[in-house]
Amino acid sequence: MVEERKIYEEQGVEKYVEYQQANENVTLKPGPAFSFVKALEQVNARLRELYPNDEELFDIVLMTNNHAQVGVRLINSINHYGLLIERFCMTGGKSPVGYLKAYLTNLYLSADSEKVQEAIEAGIAAATLFTGNKKVPYDDKQLRVAFDGDAVLFSDESEIIVKEHGLDRFFEHEQINENKPLAQGPLKGFLEDLGRLQKKFYVKNERLDSPIRTYLVTARSAASSGARVLKTLRSWGVQIDEALFLAGAPKGPILAKIRPHIFFDDQMFHIEGARQLGTIAAHVPYGIGQKYHKSKLKESPATN
């Protein structure tokens, strides 16, 4: 809602609410999370077919600092696109982050980096969404989620060594600690949630046709630092469908091939490279990398 945001900033909240009410039958355009949410709902639909009495599904909640009177336009737009989002949290100008724990939130996505940082500091997995610079087709039958490793699935302990002592020391450290699992990062829990739902399809002999597929896309080298990553995932009891070790090569072309509905990374230059080729990218503001890579990229956040 870029135009609406401009009205809010230039004319104030009363004019903003007035505009929204006057346009409540005008459908809002899809945002960066739209394809991801559609894919989540596709997984839910398949789970309901296989487990009609099971309530273990993705629960999507619309968290917004919008005034309650704006809710009619949001509801109309959601119904227009056939989305099944029944739970809203509209906080009337206040940050919705304070409600995240009450909603048992496992993942919070926003175009507002300040709210995302607030959520991360509260111990909630969160990421700032950025649209791709061009439209790409997404698989409408399989949810595809791609993760960076360090400071996303894992802690930033190894990344600290790279930044402060260089690659040679990093390779030595990873080989010495190959059998010591990495500490968890902010997105570990979400990967576990995906894995738990994947297993429900495996039980029904749908491993090859699972509507969920996960990817690790890391700048690490396989031979020199990959074993610790794979052993860490094994120690967690988590399976990743595809692991791509790029040894410092750009991630954008690989992601363009995968076409994930969302890609999580802690470094903005990887986010920028991904979105240049059309990938919806989500920046996780966690770890030492935030001190070293200050991007000039600016994207007007949606009101959310």
User: Buried b / exposed e across 238-262, counting CB within 10 Å, b at 16+?
Assistant: bebbebbbeeeeebbebbbebbbbb
Report yes or no: 74 and 4 within 8 Å, Cβ to Cβ: no
User: Is-catalytic flag, 139?
Assistant: no
CA 52 to chain centre: 28
DSSP conformation class of 99: G
* Active-site option among 112, 148, 156, 266: 148
How far from 133 is each of 34, 252, 256, 285, 304, CA to CA, in Å? 15, 12, 12, 21, 21
Task: Retrieve residue 265's tokens.
Answer: 């990374």
Helix 157-165, helix 167-176: angle, nearest 10:
140
**What residues contact residue 112 under an 8 Å CB cut-off, 6+ apart?**
128, 301, 302, 304
> What phi-psi label fits residue 58: left (phi over 0), alpha (psi between -120 and 50 degrees) or beta?
beta
- Which residues are the active-site residues? 148
